[in-house]
């Protein structure tokens, strides 16, 4: 009789253990990638910025390089009632002191990470962070669509003296053509935020001059108008 009871109880014990294991497995949190967009006040990143612009019709071709510091300054509630942060962006003055150049804002929700840059609201990340997930960065503003996708999820990255164990690349999905080129890349590191950015937009026109007696077959004239921005993190930390 005792042997029969043991056999009858055995299935129930197995089911109890299986249920307990399932509950324990279900309790493990799902990693959606929120730590690619830190919100802690006092967090900062210093970048080396290199910018170039070109306008062949006007004969303009210039560039500038400078250090830029972005620091999460304070928490606040945005007009939609969401917890958000103000970001102070500093550049150095002629005395080599950091001075505030402008103020941006950022918001992290369960679905996305947003940044308001120069009064333009942009959807920087769409959660969960997964390879090939796509979205339009300009969905909340009037600029042309800029469709991007996650690439190289959880890949290590070395930037100069900085090493990051896990990063993800945000890259535009529409390839350039012979006239319009748009290259957009941002890379985010876990626990740090955006550590590099490359954004290039150009329009190239090919002009065919009419033949003249001295030159019956003149070469075409290539006219380019556009700009390029490159940002690379050189230091980061928390106050």
Question: What is the chain's pLDDT, residue by residue, as a tens digit (239 residues)?
Answer: 444 444 344 444 444 444 544 544 555 678 899 999 999 999 999 999 999 999 988 899 999 999 999 999 999 999 999 999 999 999 999 999 999 999 999 999 999 999 999 999 999 999 999 999 999 999 999 999 999 999 999 999 999 999 999 999 999 998 888 888 899 999 999 999 999 999 999 988 888 878 777 777 777 888 889 999 999 999 999 98
> Among candidates 152, 80, 67, 163, which has minimal Cα distance to 116?
80
- The pLDDT assigned to 4 comes to 44
Question: Residue 22 carries which DSSP code?
Answer: H
The answer to whether 73 and 86 are in contact (CB under 8 A) is: yes
d(Cα 223, Cα 239) in Å, to the nearest integer?
A: 47
**Closest-CA residue to 109 (of 131, 95, 128):** 128
């Amino acid at each position: 009789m005792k042997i029969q009871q043991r056999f009858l109880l055995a299935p129930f014990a197995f089911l109890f253990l299986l249920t307990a294991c399932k509950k324990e497995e279900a309790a493990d949190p799902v990693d959606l990638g929120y730590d690619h967009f830190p919100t802690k006040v006092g967090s900062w990143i210093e970048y080396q910025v290199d910018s170039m612009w070109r306008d062949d019709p006007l004969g303009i071709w210039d560039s500038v390089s400078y250090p830029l510091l972005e620091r999460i300054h304070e928490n606040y509630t945005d007009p939609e009632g969401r917890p958000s942060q103000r970001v102070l962006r500093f550049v150095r003055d002629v005395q080599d002191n950091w001075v505030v150049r402008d103020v941006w804002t950022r918001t992290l929700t369960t679905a996305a990470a947003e940044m308001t840059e120069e009064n333009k609201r942009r959807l920087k990340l769409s959660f969960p962070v997964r390879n090939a997930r796509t979205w339009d960065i300009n969905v909340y503003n009037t600029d042309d669509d800029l469709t991007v996708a996650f690439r190289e999820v959880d890949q290590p990255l070395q930037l100069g003296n900085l090493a990051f164990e896990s990063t993800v690349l945000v890259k535009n999905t529409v390839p350039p053509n012979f006239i319009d080129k748009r290259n957009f890349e941002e890379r985010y590191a876990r626990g740090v935020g955006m550590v590099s950015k490359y954004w290039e937009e150009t329009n190239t026109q090919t002009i065919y001059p009419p033949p003249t007696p001295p030159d019956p077959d003149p070469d075409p004239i290539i006219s380019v108008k556009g700009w390029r921005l490159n940002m690379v993190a050189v230091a980061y930390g928390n106050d």
